[in-house]
Structure 1
Amino acid sequence: MEPRGVLVTVWAVVLRTGADVPRDTAGKRRLRAEARAWAGDRLAERLRAPAAGVRWERSRAGKPRLAHDPGLYVSYSHSGGAVVLAVCAGGPVGVDVERVVPRPHLSELAAECLAPAESAAWREAAPGREAYEFARLWTRKEAVLKAWGRGFPGSLAEVVTGPGARPGEPAVLALPAALGPVGLWTVRDLGAPDGYRAAVAVRAPAARVVVMSGGAGRA
């Protein structure tokens, strides 16, 4: 029997803003290391262990996990200056954050990645907000992909979400068959500062998502 009402804990932070977000390769490398260290600190707090004791490894599919606690599902994402970490003991979890940036071929990308119903919602976005709406849908799909973590058996257009009962709690409408029934999944939009979109997904129905303080800001 699948767990119901499992808890997903999310930490989010903005490490850099505006012009402080590096564009050069060396700066991006330093920021990646800082993001990983921040995620390690949050995991250490969660585990009540020294940060030096948090050891990461990756599955064969490349999904990050804790070497010493494989039963605790972990996912983290960073884009621009924002970082998001999700932890869940009740089912595979995935999280994604995306910085909203101009995309010269956004219409072509939307046609490739969005299902017809999602595409219709995207086209209804207010002028100038198309990139934000696309990022909102994209992060949901990426979060599901990261939670699955086994190589994706289909296209992103096969992960379909729509309006749910409450804002920020989208309904999962369709998935590739390998991911199981849609009722086994929970997808939630996460609050994000202007310029970002974020989402979390867990393979467990009716999961509860709790967002903690990130320590140096909040995404």
Structure 2
Amino acid sequence: MQTIECQDVAGIAAGLSEATIHVWRLRYERVQRRGPLRALLALYLGAPAESIIFVENEHGRPELATPWRGQLQFNWSHSGDAALVTIARRLAPGVDIERVRARPRAMHVAERFFHSHETAALAALEPSRRDQAFLQLWTGKEAVLKAMGRGIAFGLDRLCLAVAPAAPRVLWLDGDDATQWQLHALSLDADHLASVAWRGPALSVAAWTLADST
């Protein structure tokens, strides 16, 4: 992912069209709360960061408040010292990032919470490949649920995704047409996995790293 200086973001923001999804990787500390998200969206809107106010839907998904409401759709996720922000126009994206680490209880979690087809696909993998496949599956589910404006309380077993090494894809989604959904794995680094999802046509996904201002 190309590293972009803060002063150059506005030029990239100008290229955000209805045919593209923008994804930004940021350095993050939990004490910053939504500060980095607010600052990035301000660059897209050409507004002071302090003017960016959020409202939440009934499930806690943040959205822009008036007067910016409807101008951009976005979602964000953070894990450890890394955060991802995805920005779009006219459709609601979802994103999730997770740190790569050993998951000794992966199959237990899958058997309890995932769709049975996903659990079977994970069980069929060699143990050395299972942790990464589980994590990619997890980020994919989170991304779809966040794009829906929901969270994991919706039910992780109410959607079924293709399991790596198959290409990311929504196979089934309770109450919706799975063919209308797009799901992409994001290449970050050896320490993180991430996914971005949205309901709508296939779009171009462009990703950058925002330079650390400190």
Range of TM-score over shorter length: 0.7 to 0.9
- Equivalence for 2:52: 54
Q: 1:212 to 1:89 in 2, by over 3 A?
A: same
RMSD: 2.7
Q: 1:169 to 1:50 in 2, by over 3 A?
A: farther
Q: 1:6 to 1:152 in 2, by over 3 A?
A: farther
For residues 163-214 of structure 1, the C-alpha deviation after alignment (integer angstroms, 9 at most, x for no partner) is 79xx99622211011xx21122111111122222111111212132221332
Whole-angstrom CA distance in 1 between matches of 2:196 and 2:132: 17
Whole-angstrom CA distance in 2 between matches of 1:95 and 1:47: 21
Name stretches of at least 5 consecutive residues in structure 1 with no aligned partner: 16-30
Counterpart amino acid of 1:201? A
For residues 67-101 of structure 1, the C-alpha deviation after alignment (integer angstroms, 9 at most, x for no partner) is 12221222111011110011111212111111233
Name stretches of at least 5 consecutive residues in structure 2 with no aligned partner: 1-17
Percent of aligned pairs with the same residue? 33
Counterpart of 1:201 (choices 191, 197, 200) is 197
Q: Secondary structure at the match of 2:189?
A: coil
Report the Cα offset of residue 151 of structure 1.
Answer: 6.0
Whole-angstrom CA distance in 2 between matches of 1:204 and 1:62: 22
Q: Is the 8 A contact 2:137 2:163 kept in 1?
A: no
| Larger displacement relative to structure 2 (99-108 or 140-149) | 99-108
Whole-angstrom CA distance in 1 between matches of 2:189 and 2:159: 25
Q: Is the 8 A contact 2:118 2:163 kept in 1?
A: no
Q: Secondary structure at the match of 2:140?
A: helix
Q: TM-score, normalised by structure 2?
A: 0.78
Whole-angstrom CA distance in 2 between matches of 1:206 and 1:46: 22
Whole-angstrom CA distance in 2 between matches of 1:59 and 1:168: 33
- Equivalence for 2:78: 78
- Equivalence for 1:21: none
- Equivalence for 1:140: 140
Q: How does 1:107-122 map to 2 (within 5 A)?
A: 107-122=107-122
